[in-house]
Each structure stands twice: as structure tokens, then as C-alpha cells.
Copies of this chain bind each other. A is one copy, B any other.
Amino acid sequence: MKIPDGAKLVFKGVIFEVYQWQQKMFDGSLATFEMLKRPDTVQVIPIVGDKILIAEEQQPTKEQFHGLFGGRVEESEHPLDAAKREFLEESGYEAQTWETLKVYTPYHKMDWTMYMFVARNCHQVQKPQLDPGERIFVKEVSFDEFIDLVISKQFWGKEFSLDVLHMKLDGQLAEFQSRLFGP
């Protein structure tokens, strides 16, 4: 959810801000409520021919994992610009067309929006330029491999995993494939 109007910033860290406000309860009494704000994030599903690019990634505090390209939206940056920047930095690729696939708000007590984009007709234009806290390898997978990755327990982004599991149960994966690979 969004930080309520009138909430007061009580701490600002390197990622998280903490806000508090007085919330009226059902009996009319007041209680101090608290929630967090963190930078919004972007994720990219890049299409190359009939394949999808994914990131094989290592970070200092995580096990190796497969995920989508993406990262944090910087202050006053538009989410689509952040998606293009992160995708270029992490993969060295650019895309001809971009489309917003989905917008998620993963955690109730946190003002945090995650934007998911499809990047179509991707082609490599440079070498990846990684941060010192990133090790990323670009991997091409088929649509079926992509779906298996997204619904695996290791995948980051439970909301997207849930959507894809629902599509699988409801027989909507072929439609989703057409949606991703475009007209």
C-alpha cells in the first residue's frame, strides 16, 4: 500500500524509510501504525526470436539463483527508463519495443511497487556492465523452461509465480505465450 497522507518519516536508511502515523481504531482509540517505503523495482522479460533471456545471478548474501533482469528505480527515474537501463547494464542488450506486462505491490506493510516489462526484438549492443555486488550470466531458455523457472521455489517474485501457476491450472499458458512473443 501507499504511505498514508500525514504519515511522518521517522527513519531513512540506505534502502528503507520508516513512516509512522496515528491510526483510529474501531473503538475510536488511537494507535501508532508503522510502515516502510523502499525504492520501486523493475523486472524485464526479454524476447530474442523464440527464446527468453534470463539471468543466472550471484549476490553477496544469496545463493546462486535464476531470475529476471532488473533492479531498483532511481529517484525521479521513470520505471520504463529504469528497466531499459538495468537490462542494458546487466545483459548488454537493447530492445526494439517495450510493453508493461504487470504491476505488483508485493508486501502490504511496504510502499513498494514492482513493474514487469516485456522487451521484444532484443539484440546485444555492448558487454554487460555489472556492479561490484553482481555476478550475472545471460542464458537463453525456451518458453517451457521459462515457465518451469518462474514456478520453481527458487524464483524471486511470488506474485508472478502465483499468476503463472493459475494460468497453468486454467489452461491459459498458450495465450500467455502469444502475449509475450507478441503479434
Residue positions of A touching B, CB distance < 8 A: 1, 4, 10-11, 13-16, 18, 20, 23-27, 29, 31-34, 36, 58, 60-62, 107-109, 131-135, 151, 153, 156, 158-159, 161-162, 165-166, 168-169
CA A131 – CA B27 in complex, angstroms? 9
A36 engages B36 (CB within 8 Å)? yes
Please tell me how many copies of the chain the complex holds: 2
In-complex Cβ contact of A168 among B31, B60, B159, B169 (8 A): B169
CA A108 – CA B25 in complex, angstroms? 31
Supposing A15-B109, A16-B34, A109-B15 touch, asked if A61 and B165 sit within 8 A by C-beta, the answer is no
Query: Which residues on the B side are within 8 Å of A161 (C-beta)?
Result: 162
A32 engages B18 (CB within 8 Å)? no
Supposing A14-B34, A29-B132 touch, asked if A162 and B165 sit within 8 A by C-beta, the answer is yes
CA A165 – CA B15 in complex, angstroms? 33
Q: Give 25 pairs: A residue, B residue, CB < 8 Å, sorted on A.
A: A1-B61, A11-B11, A13-B34, A14-B33, A15-B34, A15-B109, A16-B18, A16-B36, A23-B60, A23-B61, A25-B60, A25-B133, A26-B60, A26-B132, A26-B134, A26-B135, A31-B132, A31-B133, A36-B36, A62-B108, A153-B162, A161-B162, A162-B162, A165-B165, A169-B169
The minimal Cβ–Cβ distance linking A25 to chain B, given in whole angstroms, is 4
